[in-house]
Amino acid sequence: MMIQQQGKKVGLPLMNLVRLNRTPILKQLHLEEKLLRKSSTNWCIINDGTDTPAIVMGISGKPSELLEIGSVLRDQVPVIKRFTGGGTVVVDKGTVFVTLICNKDDVPGVQPYPRSIMSWSGLLYNQVFKGIADFQLRENDYVFGNRKFGGNAQSITKNRWIHHTSFLWDYAEGNMAFLKQPARAPEYRMERGHTEFICRMNEYLPRTDFIEKTTEAVETYFSVKNVNLEATEEPCGAEFVPSTRLLSKQELEEALGPQPEIIGVSV
């Protein structure tokens, strides 16, 4: 009640902040989709890592074009198709996830269109990374100089939108081998391989500092109320069936296509 009164006093809309630690990314995406479609409240979700490595693809992504499927199947890496657009990312305990779910009328000057939302997010993270390296928003990516450390995706409904980011605090270089070089890539990538194109945030600032600075930046636009995970159940009512899902082994095998037979020669 106190926070709500303060929010009204200074004229800022209320935002519920949920802080998670190592929550499985599939569970997080299901939660985000439910809150976008069933809640009428603003939400910020910060998840500090996910429990096991996974590959997350955009809603229109095609495994055959984006993944080294043979390696994915061999290593039994889960592949998730999320409800938002955007590219493909390998996530694990070194990834920090930040999600903003907003009513379109609660962020003045932001229109419910991708470019407008991205521009606003760039201003938000300018506050977070002020004085740290050469932070920029470049072609929908967050970068230090010309190396990417944050990938974004969005979904927009009639009255609400979601903007979520996977921040590469750290990553295992071997995981990059699961990803093909995308046919469509930002111009600034200049055909660089994954490890030449991305960078680790841990080279620039402490993990806890990033999370705290992000919370402080959100507080310049919203009156923030810390809530626990159980509170997310309240506004959503009836059972919700998310569209975000885990791809089956059969789907991946079909995307891989027929493989040539290896004929042994007896001696």
Please report the domains of the chain, with CATH numbers, ordered by start residue.
Answer: 2-230 (3.30.930.10)
Task: Find the range with the poorest average confidence among 192-206, 212-226, 246-260.
Answer: 246-260
* Residues 47, 232 contacting (CB under 8 angstroms): no
Instruction: Specify the pLDDT at position 49.
Output: 97
Instruction: Specify the pLDDT at position 238.
Output: 59
- Give the model's confidence band at 223: pLDDT under 50 very low, under 70 low, under 90 confident, else very high: very high
Predicted confidence (pLDDT) at residue 10 exceeds the cutoff of 60: yes
Token pair listed for 66:
């984006």
pTM score of the predicted model: 0.91
Q: What is the 3-state secondary structure (H, E, C) of 167-178?
A: EECCCCHHHHHH
- Pairing relationship of beta strands 79-81 and 95-103 according to DSSP bridges: unpaired
Residues 114-152 have pLDDT tens digits of 999 999 999 999 999 999 999 999 999 999 999 999 999
Helix (H) or strand (E) holding 161, with range, is strand 160-168
Token pair listed for 260:
């040539």
Predicted confidence (pLDDT) at residue 261 exceeds the cutoff of 70: no
More confident residue, 262 or 21: 21
Instruction: Specify the pLDDT at position 5.
Output: 38
Predicted confidence (pLDDT) at residue 43 exceeds the cutoff of 70: yes
* Residues 102, 156 contacting (CB under 8 angstroms): no
The residues facing 144 across adjacent strands are 135, 147
Q: Residues 24-50: what's their mean pLDDT?
A: 97
**CB neighbours (10 Å) of residue 21?**
10
